[in-house]
Structure 1
């Protein structure tokens, strides 16, 4: 048992990221059943869809699971009410001020974790009363912090500032990556991209197959004027870059982005005009696997790598 397995009452300190259009109840329950902590991604769900996924997840697993809540999305009050009404015990918040909902959630018996991109925000989250933080480096897919601090730089800096449990995220998809993050001070890891390419991920098969074809350098952090997001370099990404050459306003960027661009790409499988969010670590992902196999492979590699370090000193 370590701080993370004790906090969530799970077997392994592996948290599946609550990714939009990927993290439905099937993925969350599969990861929880495998010994990690599965998260339902509320960011791409209408409130009643979220309720349905929570109810189905409770039937699919008797293990702990949680919900990831990006606080910048609409209907936040209704989402929080559903989480409380349905008896969810773990909530990961992101993209907002942790002071807004932490006290209310904790008053309702919920363990709260907040996602941060800097030690400054980690301290603010700790001061707000969260139970742990996820420190996410800019290697991560999807929406990112503006600091562009890499995971291996971020983790020891955050560890130096806080006293609550620390979860590392961004660029972690293997047992060796997990060991490295924990050697730098993390108590556990949050894994997104690797679980996006799982059988149980709710994303489109086209997107999953694109992930396993990604090579080093095929993703880029862009749209910083709106909200920094890491994308696969497809036609939509190239359209964004062409617009940047004209020194666009925020309004022009928002017009190009439009509505539901991420849904179009990841959920509906439009590989040309859709927004395809994935992390840099996708370059190491070569096959689509069941979530249970992903967890088991990570733990086996973690234990083997740890033994190598102890035995051979490398």
Structure 2
């Protein structure tokens, strides 16, 4: 029977790969995840991440990495979105700064994975299905994260849900897999472990914590969300992403339905459309990423409080399951 108190660590191959206590990885969260959030998550036992999107100038990224190091001695990661920025110099810089991990989203990172071979840096690659997973493993990824259809931001083109996609990816590769999409608490963590994942990557939930630079209006929107107020945009660009259903995302959908050119759609999803909500609080006339798991969010704790809560919830779920299985036996 499980112990009555939450564990001081949850050991999986993912925690061993990253050198962390709990298999909880904070999502990349473009333009939101800076040093303060990454450090707070890592200090609490998870793996925090600094998003390159928003600090794409080399010296700005260097400053964020060094700030995070001044705030925690624990491992943290830097998140790189493929296909939008020139990454080579930034990846080289992060390697020079000896970050513990790097994550890659939204494209083929094979060339960058080769660059990291033998560096001691753990490479995390986000995938949306088994075929991508196999290619990433062959390319040199150390850990994978499955992006389920429920997730916020870029979700891949397979439309697989987390419940189905996670075991499919786990069966297809030999390296550790994290589950992402629809997970906002420790019960989701316990479910992911039951599916064969070795941890979770959590995005939307970490928007609504005190250490993010997200505007309070955005955090309040996450807390208010009922989970049915999101839409998937950018399908015509073959880079679908789940966002808040507001006037701006509806304009994007109308433009896509009308057959507007990729150039027109791209102009509507540029960084400034995102920053209007994130930085200035205009949550109606901006493109704001949001996953369905927002329905499970009802407060704005610190990152440390959230992780402690998730661990306690996961433990409670495991105890309940153990008791149920014992009774069945």
TM-score w.r.t. structure 2 length? 0.92
Asked if residue 266 in structure 1 is aligned to residue 278 in structure 2, the reply is yes
Quote how far apart the aligned CAs of 1:259 are: 4.7
Gaps of 5+ in 1: none
**Kept after mapping to 2: 8 A contact 1:10/1:37:** yes
Aligned twin of 2:7: none
CA distance in structure 2 between the aligned counterparts of 1:258 and 1:23, rounded to whole angstroms:
18
Gaps of 5+ in 2: 1-10
Secondary structure of the 1:140 match is coil
**Kept after mapping to 2: 8 A contact 1:12/1:36:** yes
Secondary structure of the 2:235 match is coil
Range that drifts further, 105-114 or 48-57: 105-114
1:1-314 aligned at under 5 Å gives the runs: 1-46=11-56, 47-226=58-237, 227-313=239-325
Moved over 3 A (4+): 255-259
Secondary structure of the 2:320 match is helix
Quote how far apart the aligned CAs of 1:245 are: 4.3
Quote how far apart the aligned CAs of 1:299 are: 0.4
**Kept after mapping to 2: 8 A contact 1:16/1:31:** yes
1:159-213 Cα offsets, whole Å, 9 max, x none, are: 1110011111111111111111111110010111111100001111111111111
Alpha carbon RMSD of aligned pairs, Å? 1.4
Quote how far apart the aligned CAs of 1:254 are: 2.6
**Kept after mapping to 2: 8 A contact 1:18/1:68:** yes
Alignment CA distance shift 1:273-1:95 (3 Å): same
**Count, aligned residues:** 314
1:288-308 Cα offsets, whole Å, 9 max, x none, are: 110001001100000001000
Quote how far apart the aligned CAs of 1:240 are: 2.1
Secondary structure of the 2:178 match is strand
**Kept after mapping to 2: 8 A contact 1:214/1:282:** yes
**Kept after mapping to 1: 8 A contact 2:274/2:287:** yes
1:55-89 Cα offsets, whole Å, 9 max, x none, are: 00000001111111112122311211210121112
Range that drifts further, 251-260 or 51-60: 251-260
Secondary structure of the 1:43 match is coil
